Amino acid sequence: MNPQPSFRLLTQEELDRLWAVVQEQFVFDSTGWTPLWLNGIRLGLLDDRWRDLLMQDWTGRLKNNEQGLFLETDGWLEMADSLQSITQNWHRLGLFGGWRNEKFDVEDHDGNILFSLERSAFRPLGLCSKAVHVNGLTEENGEWKFWIGRRSRFKAVDPDKLDNLVGGGVADGESILAAMHREAWEEAGLSENILPTTENCSRRMSVRKVSRGLHMEKLYIFDIVLPERNKPDNQDGEVSEFFLMGLDEVVEAMTSRLFMNDAMLATLDLLERLGVLGYCHNLSKWLKSTSV
């Protein structure tokens, strides 16, 4: 997408307020966290609680030293079965909630799939998941506006928070493009003929401490321009409403902490590409550091 909207540059005050929220929500210090190595590959990051529980419950080969916690099995299938069993038991014991009976892929650093695991177990183990986000724009009375969704109050994560037009996790075995098309239909009722047909998209890494452990997710961010006649229509009950917001309203909502964090990052990604953030502020410098 290469629209030519007449967006203004954000003011220094707006940038400072956005930067304050980013520092509060996203800036992560890994000091004191333990790297998790699985079959010789560094894949996760553990706080003290989950490290101690994992050391207590792991029945296979284990090594713990200054480089991290090393778990070894005879293959990735055994690793998957062992971690699935341990984390499911943690859930049964009430150590964390939100078990989804859905799996995400665990990949190595080259993007090769190693195994799949229950999605809610990724945060306790500090594993990297993947998600798609779609920024929606439309022209109304000669002005570009953003399509924003409000998450259902029944969502396990960030209920009632503001979200992008589309956002959701990439399931095991699913391509980025297929995930985007599936989520676009489920969340906004968008048909494939108005969606991007290639995986050319912006990519950002979202990392932050959460109550369950560590949220580490690679965001694949798409943009679409909806004609005025195309109104989003949620299909799966996960979005309670959609509405249009101007730039001023979006900035105010983000600085008021009304956006879910990854939706804020995806929106900032779009604003940076539209050139409204400038290039010298700490916010822009931080955004560059999240690009992957």
pLDDT value at residue 4: 56
Q: What's domain 12-28+129-290's superfamily in CATH?
A: Nucleoside Triphosphate Pyrophosphohydrolase (3.90.79.10)
The stretch 233-237 carries a mean pLDDT of 95
Judging by beta carbons within 10 Å of its beta carbon (0-12, 13-18, 19+), is residue 129 exposed, middle or buried? buried
For 39-56, write each residue's pLDDT tens digit: 999 999 999 999 999 999
The stretch 180-184 carries a mean pLDDT of 97
* Domain range annotation of the chain: 12-28+129-290, 34-106
Give percent of the chain with pLDDT exceeding 90.
87
Lowest mean pLDDT among 60-69, 154-163, 180-189: 154-163
Instruction: Examine the pLDDT at 2 and tell me if it is beyond 80.
Output: no
Mean pLDDT of the residues in the chain: 94
The stretch 239-259 carries a mean pLDDT of 96
For 52-94, write each residue's pLDDT tens digit: 999 999 999 999 999 999 999 999 999 999 999 999 999 999 9
**Which residue would you say has higher pLDDT here, 6 or 8?**
8
* Whole-angstrom distance, CA of residue 248 vs CA of residue 262: 19
* Whole-angstrom distance, CA of residue 34 vs CA of residue 31: 9
Instruction: Examine the pLDDT at 5 and tell me if it is beyond 70.
Output: no
Q: pTM for this structure?
A: 0.95
* Whole-angstrom distance, CA of residue 196 vs CA of residue 166: 13
